Amino acid sequence: MRQFFYIFTAILILNSTLFAKGSYHKRYKHSTTKRTHHKKRVRSSKTTFLSKHLNRIYKRVLKKTDISRRALKKALYFYKRNRAKKGLSSKYIAIADYTKTARKRRLYIINLRNGRVYRHKIAHGKRSGALGGRVRRSSNRRNSKMTPYGFFKVGSRVRRTKKRHYRYLAVKGLERSNRRVGYPSRMGGRDVILHPAKYVNYGGRSHGCFSICPQDRRAIFAKLKKALLYSYTGR
């Protein structure tokens, strides 16, 4: 009888232990699932907020300017998807709309907080189009002397060129098609920078660099550090 009593007691203890473990795992799994769902809700709410805000910016910019609708839509979409991953500035983005002529202020710098737009002149490459005209051809190849196309990130440090001592900001291609643009030629890249040049005032052309008017340098450099720059050539 004693042996039977001991066996019966052991079975009861074992069952209670298993039941306790099972209920603990259920509670733990339930709490983990709740935390995961909460994180997803936070992420989706942030994305929704950003989408709504950028949609308002999109409408304001279209209302105020003659910028290409397609260029603006593509730039904001790329920014939304790559802002965190590429470490882009949350203050401004810039669109060089090369479907406009060089005599127009076709560099649009957009304030991402309130939709305000700052416009400046910007040159295109010698082999991309006529003096004072618009871009007809574009390329990311070395020695093409054409305007590069696609999305770029502007550098954060102002430097000087060795030959002409231009102050400049570096640019870096963010896509497969332009990833070598902005790298030194000795490393197999294409030397393209954002710099001031006097010829921009009268519709002159560059060798492919993003050249701006000297009087606009301070204002542009202050806004575009780490910013997204979209070189839109109609592609």
Nearest to 192, CA basis, from 143, 131, 127, 119: 143
Average pLDDT over residues 152-169: 93
| Sequence-separated (6 or more) residues with CB below 8 Å from residue 73 | 58
Tell me what pLDDT residue 25 has: 47
How confident is the model over 72-100, as pLDDT tens digits? 999 999 999 999 999 999 999 999 999 99
How confident is the model over 175-225, as pLDDT tens digits? 999 999 998 877 778 999 999 999 999 999 999 999 999 999 999 999 999
Tell me what pLDDT residue 217 has: 97
Higher-pLDDT residue of 103 and 38 is 103
Tell me what pLDDT residue 31 has: 52
**Calpha distance 190→37 (Å, rounded):** 46
Tell me what pLDDT residue 235 has: 85
Nearest to 124, CA basis, from 66, 210, 194: 210
How confident is the model over 113-135, as pLDDT tens digits? 999 999 999 999 999 999 999 99
**Calpha distance 28→37 (Å, rounded):** 14
**Calpha distance 116→20 (Å, rounded):** 62
How confident is the model over 5-53, as pLDDT tens digits? 455 455 555 455 544 555 544 554 555 555 555 544 544 554 565 689 9
- CB-count exposure of residue 15 (10 Å: 0-12, 13-18, 19+): exposed
Average pLDDT over residues 152-180: 94
| Sequence-separated (6 or more) residues with CB below 8 Å from residue 52 | none
Predicted model pTM = 0.80
